[in-house]
Amino acid sequence: MVVSFILAASLLGAVSSTIASSQHHSIIHTFPNLTACASETLEYSCENTTAVKDSCCSVVGGGLVLQTQFWDTYTGLEKKGQLLPKDTWTIHGLWPDNCDGSFDQYCDLSRQYDPNPSPAVLPDGTHVPPYKGPSVETFINDFGRTDLLEYMNTYWINQGGSNEEFWGHEFSKHATCTSTFDVACYGSTYKKHQDVINFFDSVIRAYKWYPTWDMLAAAGITPSNKTTYTLSQFQNALKAQTGAVPYLGCAQNGTVLSEVWYFHHVKGSEQYGHFKTLNSTTTSTCTATGRIHYYERTATSERVVG
């Protein structure tokens, strides 16, 4: 009886190990081929004095990189289980503005995965076709990245639409205008949608540098339906921790805080390079003289996350 139990436990352990091993090997790496970058002389984007030789090694165009976040108080899809993470701002994206503050969008329509592109027509008259294929969620699953999908469904939340539509929008509008996510950067072993997964990982990497809720709370600034704050209180609290003044966006004539953008120049690739934090080059839409609401979220719109 004891022998049978030991044998069964042993077999169970072997099966578990086989499954774990299979799951481990099913994950496909998505990093680009940056072997040529070891011999490159790198400078921060928008600060280089000579032309960049390899646009996979350094960000060319879109060199003013913004890590952007939302403070939403509801999702509109609560009945479908789409909730906001408690005490945490959510991801908006990773944007490649040009060095002069302008920006390009939807730069590669062969990698257009946005079901509702906005704008639908680019300044040169090019029409951006709505994407009608499988959602980007299927791309993530194809690469065995259930860990990535879980994180995105926790911290990268849409308002009024599905999360995967939002993710497809952010990749198509922004990542396709960043040189280090070009398909050519992944070399001859490129697997379709590898760049998409690599971008999502890179967005999360940058997002984790800026725990906005914690930085504000540490300065005594927390969401409230009664207390209001000044723009300088928000700016000073975030500058004290990041070394620079980010852009703060407000709705309702500048009185309701809704978003933050952290500005950078990048040395190396956007995926793994060094981000130098800069003062915002965009004027805040929050009132500079009045009081600003940083509202609490609707209780039924939040969930506690680990």
**Contact 223/35 with Cβ under 8 angstroms?**
no
The alpha-carbon radius of gyration of the chain (Å, integer) is 22
Catalytic residue among 174, 264, 265, 293: 174
**Contact 12/30 with Cβ under 8 angstroms?**
no
Pairing type for strands 292-293 and 274-278 reads unpaired
**Whole-angstrom distance, CA of residue 115 vs CA of residue 112:** 9
Catalytic residue among 164, 165, 169, 170: 170
Phi–psi pair at 65, nearest 5 degrees: -100, 130
User: Which amino acid is residue 17, in one-letter code?
Assistant: S
Q: Is 174 a catalytic residue?
A: yes
**Contact 283/63 with Cβ under 8 angstroms?**
no
**Contact 207/69 with Cβ under 8 angstroms?**
yes
The contacts of residue 179 (CB under 8 Å, 6+ apart) are 55, 56, 58, 59, 60, 61, 62, 185
Measure CA of the first residue to CA of the last residue in the chain; give whole Å: 42
**Contact 90/151 with Cβ under 8 angstroms?**
no
SS3 64: strand
**Whole-angstrom distance, CA of residue 40 vs CA of residue 293:** 48
What is the helix (H) or strand (E) element at residue 276, kind and residue range? Answer: strand 274-278
Sign of torsion over alpha carbons 36, 98, 245, 175: negative
Catalytic residue among 92, 169, 264, 265: 92
Instruction: Tell me which residues are annotated as active site.
Output: 92, 170, 174
